[in-house]
């Protein structure tokens, strides 16, 4: 199985196009017309459609979907490289038809939806005529499906849903809610009677489902199949998210280095101070290590499967939050008081790091998963001493070498001399 750090010329050209497109068109639009993708003004909508057509002409629309699901089928490694660019610009994922939570919802619709469900929901979501939210986490159960209480009961040709969901990001502005119940995944139009969106929090909504009735065909995938759908949704998504996080880390790092060369303190630029140099060096190494880890995990998924790479996916998830927290903190300090304001991206990055450590399952759960899976490949040692206990290893080595020493007296004499010498140094 080959391992290569280079990118094919044709795909490298795609990456360079994405970089130019984001710098020259996506970023300026963010500052002039924030949230343009969701803007209902016909003029704004028309301009967004023009830009999105450029993306489609490049074959980069809905780039997260596998080829058998109707997407370009890039694979996780190429997706990672694309998201490393897109993640630098907040509105770029939507401009490429690849923004969460729609991406995961579209993926499970494409994989598990009926043809009628795809026509009713997937096509409008792909065209951004609709937007969706993922309603999974619960106030008490958190992200652990084994503790969920939200359930659906079959009543004739309908399902009746009752329960509460917490941290349904963008639920307030979604057209569709993908609701994870203990006995299935259901597509619930937000305006369905009984869907009550609480006043707070404003962005990550608390939603009460009170006798919410949906037709029987709003069940997505098999009954009792919600956990399978959820894993399909989250596996590759964490790789995309990680590469976008690296993009944010690199943005913070660029700001850090630029500022270090631009400010003076105690008679010299701050880049000449060792504590500043330490922050820059540590940040550089952390970003590079995380990037290689994420790309290796993406490569592993492409060459095996998401299930085979589950340990690394979980490790990537909690590591990216840690690196973002550390790098944004270092950058914030180097920028000084300006870094604590909302006049640069740094404050938002640093504030986002704790959220990242909770969303899609808290870091502690992923760490426990990694530890359990890693320990399966190990066994306890026999007796009192660990495998690498020197006296035991030395004794075993002498036994192994006896045939060689018996056949070669000169080598045996050298070994005996070395043993006497080593014994004298230990006293």
Mind listing the pLDDT tens digit of every residue in the chain (427 residues)? 466 788 999 999 999 999 999 999 999 999 999 999 999 999 999 999 999 999 999 999 998 888 877 788 898 999 999 999 999 999 999 999 999 899 999 999 999 999 999 999 999 999 999 999 999 999 998 888 899 999 999 999 999 999 999 999 999 999 999 999 999 999 999 999 999 999 999 989 999 999 999 999 999 999 999 999 988 776 657 788 899 999 999 999 999 999 999 999 999 999 999 999 999 999 999 999 999 999 999 999 999 988 899 999 999 999 999 999 999 999 999 999 999 999 999 999 999 999 888 887 789 989 999 999 999 999 999 999 999 999 999 999 999 999 999 999 999 999 999 999 988 887 6
317's tokens: 């998830």
Q: Which helix (H) or strand (E) covers residue 343, if one does?
A: none
Q: Which residues contact 63 (CB under 8 A, 6 or more apart)?
A: 71, 72, 74, 79, 82, 96, 97, 98
pTM of the model: 0.89
Residue 309 to residue 304: CA distance in whole angstroms: 8
Residue 315 has a pLDDT of 95
Q: Which domains does the chain show, CATH number per domain?
A: 9-113 (1.10.540.10), 132-220 (2.40.110.10), 227-375 (1.20.140.10), 390-425 (no CATH)
Residue 3 has a pLDDT of 67
Residue 350 has a pLDDT of 95
Of 185, 188, 180, 187, the closest CA to residue 164 belongs to: 180
Residue 196 has a pLDDT of 98
Render 58-108 in DSSP notation, one character per residue: TT-TTTTS-GGGTS----HHHHHHHHHHHTTSTTHHHHTT--TTHHHHHHH
Q: What is the DSSP letter of 380?
A: P
CA 349 and chain centroid, separation: 15
Q: Is the dihedral of CA 33, 39, 41, 44 positive or negative?
A: positive
């Amino acid at each position: 199985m080959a391992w290569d750090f280079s990118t094919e010329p044709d795909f490298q050209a795609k990456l360079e196009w994405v970089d130019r497109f984001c710098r020259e068109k996506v970023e300026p639009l963010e500052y002039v017309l924030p949230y343009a993708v969701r803007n209902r003004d016909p003029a704004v909508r028309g301009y967004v459609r023009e830009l999105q057509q450029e993306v489609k002409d490049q074959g980069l629309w809905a780039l997260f979907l596998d080829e058998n699901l109707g997407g370009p089928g890039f694979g996780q490694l190429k997706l990672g490289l694309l998201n490393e660019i897109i993640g630098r610009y907040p509105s770029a994922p939507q401009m490429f038809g690849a923004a969460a939570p729609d991406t995961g919802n579209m993926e499970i619709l494409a994989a598990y939806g009926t043809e009628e469900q795809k026509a009713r929901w997937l096509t409008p979501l792909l065209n951004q005529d609709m937007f969706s939210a993922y309603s999974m986490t619960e106030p008490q159960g958190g992200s652990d499906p084994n503790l969920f209480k939200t359930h659906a009961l079959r009543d004739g040709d309908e399902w009746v849903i009752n329960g509460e969901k917490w941290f349904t990001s963008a639920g307030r502005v979604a057209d569709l809610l993908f609701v994870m119940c203990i006995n299935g995944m259901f597509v619930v139009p937000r305006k369905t009677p009984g869907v009550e969106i609480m006043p707070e929090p404003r962005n990550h909504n608390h939603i009460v489902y009170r006798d919410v009735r949906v037709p029987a065909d709003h069940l997505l995938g098999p009954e009792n199949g919600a956990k399978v759908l959820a894993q399909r949704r989250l596996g590759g998504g964490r790789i995309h998210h990680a590469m976008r996080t690296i993009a944010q880390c690199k943005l913070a790092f660029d700001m850090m280095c630029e500022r270090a060369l631009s400010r003076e303190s105690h008679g010299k630029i701050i880049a000449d101070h060792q504590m500043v140099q330490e922050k820059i060096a540590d940040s550089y190494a952390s970003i590079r290590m995380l990037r290689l880890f994420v790309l290796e995990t993406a490569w592993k998924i492409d060459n095996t499967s998401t299930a085979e790479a589950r340990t690394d996916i979980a490790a990537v998830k909690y590591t990216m939050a840690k690196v973002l927290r550390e790098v944004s903190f270092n950058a914030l300090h180097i920028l000084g008081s300006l870094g604590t304001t909302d006049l640069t991206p740094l404050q938002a990055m640093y504030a986002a790091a704790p959220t990242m450590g909770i969303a899609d399952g808290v870091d502690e759960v992923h760490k426990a998963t990694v530890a359990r899976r890693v320990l399966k490949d190990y066994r306890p040692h026999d007796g009192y001493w660990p495998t690498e206990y020197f006296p035991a290893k030395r004794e075993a080595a002498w036994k192994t070498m006896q045939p060689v020493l018996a056949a070669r007296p000169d080598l045996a004499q050298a070994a005996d001399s070395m043993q006497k010498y080593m014994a004298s140094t230990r006293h």
